[in-house]
Chains A and B, each alone.
Chain A
């Protein structure tokens, strides 16, 4: 449904804050269920919304490694909060999903695959990094020879309203990953929220034919030059505000060469192997399947659930787990995100959203770990030398 217009200059319009509800109303009238940021349990989480009042109006968040706090801000912005503990993947790639059920009858059995009728969803407030995360999952689930039909059907029924970031969280590093803070593709509509004591409006542009249709039905006017500039200034300021960074140059090869780096031991001493970093990550796509039966054994079901490379079962192969230590599991996670993913799908598996940093209960920071590996010498440990020696001798 989404497609970018790469060559034509985007047309910017102004939607006044007082008319924002019109956007929601128009999407509802088109049959979309609206999903957006809401306040719940001390965080901004994605959930169904019906009116503009459901948004976390006037709230902002402070994020650092292992901490997240909401605050009431002075400015009544609709999108003043950054990415929270949820990612949109929970709608496109649900945490639990039944794949099929089987029924025993007369000595045989019949299998019925679940139909997975998609919901018509409009995602409101998707950040630039999140758009890129969705693009990454698109490649994972629909890019190869084996397409995930449930994912594909849901994607085809999803309308995306992106929001360019007016503020960078301390855990954000999208500029390093070239994924933000401005939405460049993959949206139906994109907004920039402009707030001054005198004015509160949204710059709005369309990125797809369905975006055009909705946009034309809204009470907008073409943006004036100073309004366009105000929007650009906001995005430039957000980029300048970004405190974290991750150097990606040469990183893939460096990580491949760092299998025995001593830093893995240091991080493993702190890592809980709890799996939070993978569960909150908008690109992580791993699942496990669970077969269940009822007591009679007449009905069986297969369920798919989010999995994590931090569990022992993840690497269980006849007789045991091949990644039994936290060291092996953390190394797998980081190396997949930033190196093997490139060989697998052509891009890195990290978009710099910072979730794994904020939501790690002990505050392990991917950017810090990478920097340590980049800046400390990869002096081969005794074990490496020993392994090399053995290899050469065989």
Chain B
């Protein structure tokens, strides 16, 4: 269907690695259709052309780590009809949220030769801590099929098919034998939201938890089993302190194994 006024899409970057935005560029097969259906109005990673706001759909990548960004996100919100956050940084604070568990001043002193030039907030926080978010797309990085699904659902005025159940559901639908059961390999799948298609178990590795906590996760029960498989509290702590460390359920489970 040809639309007269194509909706305007903007892609915004905050503290992040760009991997999620690149997922959009990586949609080679779908990109032409995406470009046909919407005007890419602001996407510095892809094009220098800039169309003025307001934007119909804003995709926001990255977390808030500076005062400047904490203000900028409000402008983005004001200029966007629909705001969708993409990736672990934007949805839970990302890997850089590991600083949230330490004193950031000590960390800057360790990393930078002249830490006095570093202006940063003490915590890396998700976008939803600052402004209203219409939809959160999880993953580190996001799954490009889910990204296309979000855009397609938006364009067609329907609910996106982005399930919140565990990775195990995808793992079983594809027929992968469970690695916890066949090899005693610890897997984050049972507490992690589906979305990747159970990629790691398909290569006989445990899930790393890239998509963050599933609906109603029970990490305490999973940790008990990991202990039975010989994992130390240190190893369990490290599994939870990763891309989604600051997500509630993962943060609490990590805390329980600290010290």
Interface residues of A (CB under 8 A from B): 40-43, 45, 66-69, 84-86, 90, 95-96, 104, 269-276, 279-280, 290-298, 305-306, 308, 310-313, 324-326, 358-359, 361-363
B73 at the interface (CB under 8 A from A): no
Q: How far is the CA of A359 from the CA of B181 in the complex (A)?
A: 6
Closest residue of chain B to A294 (Cβ to Cβ) is B152
CB contacts (< 8 Å) of A279 on chain B: these are: 168-169, 172-173
Within the complex, which residue of B151, B152, B156, B190 is in contact with A361, where a contact is CB–CB below 8 Å?
A: B190
Residues of A contacting B204 with CB < 8 Å? 41-42
A283 shortest CB reach to chain B, Å: 15
**What are 21 A-B pairs at a CB distance below 8 A?**
A66-B180, A68-B182, A85-B178, A95-B174, A104-B1, A272-B168, A272-B191, A273-B166, A273-B218, A275-B172, A276-B190, A290-B161, A293-B158, A295-B30, A296-B33, A310-B165, A313-B164, A326-B216, A361-B187, A361-B225, A363-B225
Q: Which residues of B contact A (CB under 8 A)?
A: 1, 30, 33-34, 36-37, 148-149, 151-153, 155-156, 158, 161, 163-166, 168-169, 172-184, 187, 189-191, 204, 215-218, 220-222, 224-225
Question: Residue B216 contacts which of A269, A312, A359, A362 (CB distance < 8 angstroms)?
Answer: A312
Q: How far is the CA of A140 from the CA of B204 in the complex (A)?
A: 34
Q: In the docked arrangement, what's the CA distance between A45 and B182, Å? A: 12
Residues in A neighbouring B216, C-beta threshold 8 A: 273, 312, 324-326
A-B complex: 3 closest residue pairs judged by Cβ atoms: A279-B172, A43-B177, A274-B190
Residues of A within 8 A of B224 (CB): 270, 362
Residues of chain A with a CB closer than 8 A to B220's CB: 269
CB of A42 within 8 A of CB of B190, answer no
Closest to A268 in B: B218
Report how far A333 CA is from B218 CA in the complex, Å.
18
A294 to B36, alpha carbons, bound, how many Å?
12
Which of A296, A306, A361 lies in contact with B178, CB distance below 8 A? Answer: A361
Q: Which residues of chain B come closer than 8 Å to A273, judged between CB atoms?
A: 166, 216, 218
Q: Do residues B173 and A298 form an inter-chain contact, with CB atoms below 8 A? A: no
Known: A42-B183, A45-B177, A361-B190. A271 touches B1 (CB 8 A): no
State in angstroms the CA–CA spacing of A359 and B225 once bound together.
13
Find out whether the CB atom of A297 lies under 8 angstroms from the CB atom of B156: yes
Contact of A312 with B176 in the complex, beta carbons under 8 Å: no
Please indicate which of the listed interface residues B166, B177, B218 has the most CB atoms of chain A within 10 Å of its own CB.
Answer: B177
Chain A residues lying within 8 Å of B155, measured Cβ to Cβ, are 295, 297
Inter-chain contacts of B180 with A (CB < 8 A)? 66, 361
Is A272 a contact partner of B177 (Cβ separation < 8 A)? no
The answer to whether B218 touches A272, judged by C-beta atoms less than 8 angstroms apart, is yes
- Do A280 and B172 touch across chains, with their CB atoms under 8 A apart? yes
Q: In the assembled complex, how far is the CB of residue B27 from the closest CB belonging to chain A, in whole angstroms?
A: 10
Contact, CB under 8 Å: B191 / A275: no
Distance A276 CA – B191 CA, assembled complex (angstroms): 12
Distance of A88 from chain B, by nearest CB (Å): 12
Task: Name the residue in B34, B148, B151, B225 with the highest tally of chain A Cβ atoms < 10 Å from its Cβ.
Answer: B225
Evaluate whether A294 and B215 lie within 8 angstroms (CB atoms) in the complex, with A275-B172, A279-B172 already known: no
A292-B159 Cα distance, complex, nearest whole Å: 9
Tell me, in angstroms, the Cα distance from A280 to B177 when the chains sit together.
10
In the assembled complex, the Cα of A95 lies from the Cα of B170 at a distance in Å of 10
Measured between beta carbons, the chain B residues less than 8 angstroms from A275 are 165-166, 168-169, 172
Q: Find out whether the CB atom of B175 lies under 8 angstroms from the CB atom of A45.
A: yes
**Quick one: closest A residue to B148, CB to CB?**
A295
- In contact, A42 and B152 (Cβ under 8 angstroms): no
CA distance A312 to B181 in the complex (A): 25
B165 touches A67 (CB 8 A): no
A326 & B182 in contact (Cβ 8 Å cutoff): no
Q: Assuming the A-B contacts A42-B183, A292-B149, are A359 and B169 also in contact, with contact meaning beta carbons closer than 8 angstroms in the complex? A: no
Across-interface contacts of A90 in B (CB, < 8 A): 175
> How many Å lie between the Cα of A279 and that of B161 in the bound state?
20
Q: Which of A96, A276, A291, A292 has the most CB of B within 10 A?
A: A276
Task: Select B177's contact among A85, A296, A362, beta carbons within 8 Å.
Answer: A85
**Residue numbers in A under 8 Å from B191 (CB-CB):** 272
Residue of B nearest to A325 (CB): B216
Q: Which residues of A contact B215 (CB under 8 A)?
A: 311-312
